[in-house]
Structure 1
Amino acid sequence: MIYRFLSTLALVLLLAACSSNQTGPTTPPPQSIAAISTWETSGRVGIRTQEDAVSGNFTWQKSPTGFSLDIIGPFGQGATKLKSTTDGQVTLAYKDTEITGPNAAILLQQELGWVFPVDQVSYWIRGLAYPQTPSRMTKNSDNLPNKIEQDGWLVTYKNFTKVDGLSLPQKMQVSNPPFRVNLIINQWTIQ
């Protein structure tokens, strides 16, 4: 009887040890905004064009190998999905249409009439100037960007939030009249 009890107890302890959460090495948070290699953000977006105004929720994931940007209209209506593919192409899906091309900004303009410089905004959303073209940046007293002027666009930062000790934009506007995009970021995840 005691042998059976001890055997059962040993088995329970062994199973408990196997099922416990084992933690391996963790990736330390980035030391600077520029060091962020992978990020995910979500929030609200408002897009104004010459003929239209669209609002909804967005989720944007970016890694060194690609990105995925989803914009979903109010009450889940009008989903627009933009995603890079492994062969360097970009796929745009909206309504019952899916189209692939070499450049996200061109696809958005041709298909939806939206002028949205995706490559640049992937830097601006972190409070950085796009490194491929000249820019002019002004900063506030906390050394955070107030404005970035680049490629005909004006990026205005309204609020910042702390994420792993780094200040990242929480509310911003990207404009090049008649086009304007307002972003309110509810959540950041960075690596």
Structure 2
Amino acid sequence: MNRGLRIGALRVAGLLCLVLGLSGCALRPTVPGSSVRWSERQADLQSLPGWELRGRIAVKSGNAGGQGRLRWQQAGDSARLRLSGPLGSGSMEIRWDSGQVVLTDRKGEVTAAYSGPDAVEQFLDQQLGWHFPAVHLRYWVLGIPDPHSRARQIFDPDGWLMQIDQDGWQVGYSEFRQYSGQWIPHRVSIEDEHARVRLVIDDWK
């Protein structure tokens, strides 16, 4: 194929990607936002007053596990998570604020409440049978380490984040997409020797 035909083919492929929205055609720059460094991205995301994501989650912890849909709203240190599908046994909402966790059912009735520094971990253990550091999740789902403990970040040859190792957990990233001007993980895997979480983020703002 000569140079002119090759350039023409690339342009056609690019237009098809734009029109059809084919994820397999996505062309990404060498680093997120072309000139934005990961350290700058991390600082930007940490300073956000709030965000919301929608996606799908699958969890395996010991003999417990399941999958379902997730809606997560974060405002400062407060969070509201809605789980639906088999994972949430229909539908349930988790409200997490200042060391207190409240679980409500689909009718809005409180079914469980926990308080104290380990409230989230107690809730996950006793209500869902899960064992993992929930306090880190608000950072990991954004593709950044929790700034309150040491972590190692591993990047691929093109400069994209592949993995975060933190407090005995491995957080893997296989794809990033741009939402509201930020590069956000599309697929996230979180695991240690006892538990595994898989998350697909379909929308973030």
Aligned to 2:30: none
Aligned to 1:153: 169
CA distance in 2, matches of 1:77, 1:109: 16
Summarize the Cα distance change of 1:177–1:44 in structure 2 as closer, same or farther, 3 Å threshold.
same
CA distance in 1, matches of 2:104, 2:197: 20
Unaligned runs of 5+ in 2: 1-40
Deviations 1:117-144 (A, max 9, x none): 2210100111111111111111124433
Aligned to 1:84: 96
CA distance in 1, matches of 2:132, 2:84: 16
CA distance in 1, matches of 2:123, 2:54: 22
Are 1:100 and 2:114 an aligned pair? yes
Larger Rg: 1
Alignment of 1:59-70 (within 5 A): 59-70=71-82
Aligned to 1:124: 140
Summarize the Cα distance change of 1:122–1:65 in structure 2 as closer, same or farther, 3 Å threshold.
closer
Are 1:34 and 2:46 an aligned pair? yes
User: How far does residue 112 in structure 1 lie from its aligned partner after superposition?
Assistant: 2.0
Larger RCO (CA within 8 A; separation ≥ 6) = 1
Deviations 1:4-49 (A, max 9, x none): xxxxxxxxxxxxxxxxxxxxxxxxxx98333322110011100111
User: How far does residue 178 in structure 1 lie from its aligned partner after superposition?
Assistant: 2.4
* Equivalent residue for 2:155, pick from 133, 139, 144: 139
Equivalent AA in structure 1 for residue 166 of structure 2: Q
CA distance in 2, matches of 1:45, 1:120: 16
Aligned to 1:26: none
Deviations 1:133-158 (A, max 9, x none): 11111112443321011111110001
Equivalent AA in structure 1 for residue 134 of structure 2: V
CA distance in 2, matches of 1:76, 1:97: 13
* Equivalent residue for 2:57, pick from 45, 53, 65: 45
* Equivalent residue for 1:57, pick from 69, 82, 85: 69
SS of 2:137's equivalent in the other structure is: helix
Equivalent AA in structure 1 for residue 204 of structure 2: W
TM-score where L is the length of structure 2: 0.69
Q: Does the Cα contact within 8 Å between 2:99 and 2:115 map onto a contact in 1?
A: no
SS of 1:115's equivalent in the other structure is: coil
CA distance in 2, matches of 1:63, 1:121: 14
Give me the CA root mean square deviation.
2.4
Give the aligned length. 159
